[in-house]
């Protein structure tokens, strides 16, 4: 069904918005997102789904803002402050929590169904009753990260951009109360000893349990808690927008496969998708070592045992050492952080196991150098030879702003070990690997620029986004002209 707003902005009224908000109920969505110059989108399961209608022209959007906000709120929005209010639809008498944010050129309006519609009048300021309610609302609005810092108002991340919440500051008691049901004595002891701790949290909401990966740490002004939502269902590679060719990595019988990229680039989610692929297609014994456990895998063809650092094993290295005696076919190591873990992972890959892990670096070549640089100089030649023989692939990914409101899509570089790649690793010529990736596209390798071209041509990212992300904008420009 196609819905259209009036063409002439003077005719724009709340009746038109009420018509769009009626779709929220019909489609069982959680809200509506309106962005200057973009197609309106429904919030469904924490993601946005564009409607079949034209983009909102700036004149239409300005008319809506004038009618929705009072003069004081409009002034605050022009000053790029976050404005929050409650809007009650005249069409079905339902209440929506509204958040308005502006960067000057771009304004975003989020209408989220009010779970408890207690306000009796429109345009009342919303105040979350607790951190739990704020977290649930942030999820419904599509936030990818929630940062709760003592002495500051909450911050939410949408499509990679950090935005302020116009609400009360977070206190230490707020954070302690929120964590009371989620921190084990082991996690508390680790936090008291080191000043930070990773954990998984589950909130029992009215609709369904919501799971998060969380990190608690001390800072100069007190405590800070960061939360990242975890999907309940294991996503497929296709759902993540990743090349289907990556599924072949899960069919490997041995060797090392690395997921590489900056923090927040979706490495853990891609690993979960690969394990899900193995689970559907192979009769294998999979052992995962995670900090904390994020996605919960239900055994299908594979037998999967998930172990959490701090709860089931002391560390990645101790868990990996134990896993080698537990008859695994596949070992997932959440992160290769230290020399002992990396050394054991190489040994496991060398002795007939498929090892999946992650690293934080910018390119496949940098990931290889980072592994080798962990070892003392006297061992590096030996490690280069060992790595050249066991490395199967390095997938480097980063998330880029999508053309869909609030969305992000992955761009990837795929390095797959060939005879030439292995030789360059052994001979310490990793600076030449970028050229080999270009030459090895028939062998399943994907240069970053090729991935960006595909995203532009399929309309998932803009040309400007691709150029900003490219390592070689000139190469990208040339491929876009082909």
pLDDT value, residue 91: 64
Secondary structure (3-state) at 41: strand
Residues 150-205 have pLDDT tens digits of: 888 889 888 778 888 776 788 888 888 878 777 777 788 888 889 988 888 887 76
Secondary structure (3-state) at 324: coil
- Between CA 435 and CA 424 the distance in angstroms is 11
Cβ atoms of 332 and 288 closer than 8 Å: yes
With cut-offs at 50, 70 and 90, classify the pLDDT of residue 121.
very low
Mean pLDDT value across the chain:
84
Higher pLDDT, 414 or 8: 414
- The domains found in the chain, sorted by start residue, are 9-126 (3.30.450.90), 155-230 (3.30.450.90), 244-446 (3.40.50.300)
pLDDT value, residue 80: 73
Cβ atoms of 320 and 344 closer than 8 Å: yes
Extract the tokens encoding 369: 């150098």
pLDDT value, residue 288: 96
Check pLDDT > 70 for residue 15: no
Residues 26-65 have pLDDT tens digits of: 777 778 888 888 888 887 765 678 887 778 777 777 778 8
Extract the tokens encoding 192: 């008291």
Extract the tokens encoding 4: 């259209």
Q: What is the dihedral of CA 374, 215, 290, 425, to 10 degrees?
A: -30
pLDDT value, residue 127: 37
Cβ atoms of 140 and 381 closer than 8 Å: no
**CB neighbour list of residue 470: distance below 8 Å, 6 or more residues apart:** 448, 449, 452, 476
DSSP 177-207: HHHTTT--HHHHHHHHHHSEEEEEEEEE-SS
Q: Does the predicted TM-score (pTM) go above 0.75? A: no
Rg value, the chain, Cα: 25
Neighbours of 435 (CB within 10 A): 12
Question: Which residue in this structure is represented by tokens 């009048």?
Answer: 121
pLDDT value, residue 11: 39
Average of pLDDT values for 378-391? Answer: 96
Average of pLDDT values for 319-341? Answer: 94
Which candidate, 471, 432, 464, places its Cα nearest to that of 450? 471
- Between CA 417 and CA 268 the distance in angstroms is 22
Give, for 139, the enclosing helix (H) or strand (E): helix 131-140
Neighbours of 135 (CB within 10 A): 25
Q: Across the strands, what pairs with 209?
A: 204
Cβ atoms of 329 and 349 closer than 8 Å: no
List, edge to edge, every strand of the sheet that includes 222-230.
161-164, 155-158, 145-149, 222-230, 209-219, 196-204
Residues 432-460 have pLDDT tens digits of: 999 999 999 988 999 999 999 999 999 99
Residues 274-297 have pLDDT tens digits of: 999 999 999 999 999 998 888 889
Higher pLDDT, 196 or 132: 196
pLDDT value, residue 92: 64
- Between CA 455 and CA 450 the distance in angstroms is 9
pLDDT value, residue 71: 80
Question: Which residue in this structure is represented by tokens 């009420």?
Answer: 18
Check pLDDT > 70 for residue 380: yes
Average of pLDDT values for 117-138? Answer: 52
Average of pLDDT values for 312-323? Answer: 92
pLDDT value, residue 46: 57
* 74: exposed, middle or buried (Cβ count in 10 Å: 0-12, 13-18, 19+): middle
Check pLDDT > 90 for residue 105: no
């Amino acid at each position: 069904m196609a819905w259209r707003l009036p063409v002439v902005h003077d005719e724009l009224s709340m009746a038109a918005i009420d018509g769009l908000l009626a779709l929220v109920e019909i489609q069982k969505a959680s809200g509506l997102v309106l962005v200057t110059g973009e197609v309106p989108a429904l919030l469904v399961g924490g993601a946005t789904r564009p409607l079949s209608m034209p983009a909102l022209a700036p004149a239409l959007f300005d008319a809506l803002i004038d009618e929705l906000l009072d003069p004081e709120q409009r002034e605050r929005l022009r000053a790029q402050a976050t404005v929050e209010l409650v809007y009650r639809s005249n069409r079905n008498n339902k209440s929506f929590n509204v958040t308005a944010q502006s960067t000057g050129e771009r304004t975003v309006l989020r209408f989220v169904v009010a779970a408890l519609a207690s306000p009796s009048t429109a345009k009342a300021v919303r105040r979350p009753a607790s951190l739990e309610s704020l977290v649930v609302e942030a999820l419904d609005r599509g936030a990818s990260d929630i940062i709760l810092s003592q002495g500051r108002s909450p911050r939410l991340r949408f499509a990679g951009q950090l935005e302020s919440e116009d609400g009360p500051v977070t206190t230490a008691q707020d954070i302690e109360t929120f964590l009371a049901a989620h921190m084990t004595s082991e996690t508390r002891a680790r936090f008291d000893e080191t000043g930070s701790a990773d954990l998984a949290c589950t909130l029992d909401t009215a609709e369904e349990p919501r799971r998060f990966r969380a990190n608690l740490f001390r800072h100069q002004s007190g405590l800070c808690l960061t939360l990242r939502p975890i999907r309940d269902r294991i996503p497929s590679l296709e759902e993540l927008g990743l090349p289907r060719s990556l599924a072949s990595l899960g069919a490997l019988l041995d060797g090392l496969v690395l997921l590489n990229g900056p923090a927040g680039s979706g490495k853990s989610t891609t690993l979960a998708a690969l394990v899900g692929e193995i689970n559907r297609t192979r009769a294998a014994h999979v052992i995962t070592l995670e900090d904390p456990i994020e996605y919960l895998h239900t055994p299908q063809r594979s037998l999967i045992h998930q172990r959490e650092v701090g709860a089931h094993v002391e560390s990645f290295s101790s868990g990996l050492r134990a896993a080698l005696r537990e008859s695994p076919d596949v070992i997932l190591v959440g992160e290769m952080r230290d020399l002992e873990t990396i050394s054991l992972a190489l040994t496991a890959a060398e002795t007939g196991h498929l090892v999946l892990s992650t690293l934080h670096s910018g390119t496949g070549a940098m990931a290889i150098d980072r592994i080798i640089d962990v070892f003392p100089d006297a061992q590096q030649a030996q490690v280069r030879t060992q790595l050249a023989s066991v490395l199967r692939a390095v997938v480097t990914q980063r998330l880029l702003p999508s053309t869909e409101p609030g969305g992000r899509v992955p761009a990837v570089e795929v390095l797959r070990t060939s005879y030439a790649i292995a030789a360059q690793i052994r001979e310490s010529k990793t600076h030449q690997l970028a050229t080999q990736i270009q030459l090895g596209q028939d062998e399943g390798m994907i240069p970053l620029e090729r991935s960006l071209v595909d995203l532009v041509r399929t309309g998932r990212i803009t040309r400007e986004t691709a150029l900003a992300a490219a390592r070689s904008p000139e190469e990208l420009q040339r491929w876009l002209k082909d």
